[in-house]
Amino acid sequence: MRLRVEFTTEPFDLDEAPDHAVVAREVIQSAELDAVDVGPFGNTAEGGADEVLTAVDSLLRRALASGATRVSLQVNVIGEEGR
């Protein structure tokens, strides 16, 4: 199964990316995911279910430990692996 995760972390800071946002992006960018798109107001990535779920676990744990007070995320099934 292939999944797409979309997420944001808060609180926002328009002048400089907060530590929790930087950490969350690093987790996603270093995971074995494809179609990674990071931006100032939202981030998306796609990959196999195991890879996405492992990345989401790490993202939540590390972002909260780095000062996030809210993590909004959505996970969608986008297809079957290998199709």
| Whether residue 40 has pLDDT greater than 80 | no
Of residues 56 and 81, which shows the higher confidence score? Answer: 56
pLDDT score at 41: 77
Task: Report the share of the chain in percent with pLDDT over 90.
Answer: 78
pLDDT score at 17: 87
pLDDT score at 43: 93
Q: Which residues contact 41 (CB under 8 A, 6 or more apart)?
A: 8
- Distance (Å, rounded) from C-alpha 11 to C-alpha 35? 25
pTM, entire model:
0.88
Top-ranked range on mean pLDDT: pick from 17-21, 60-64, 78-82: 60-64
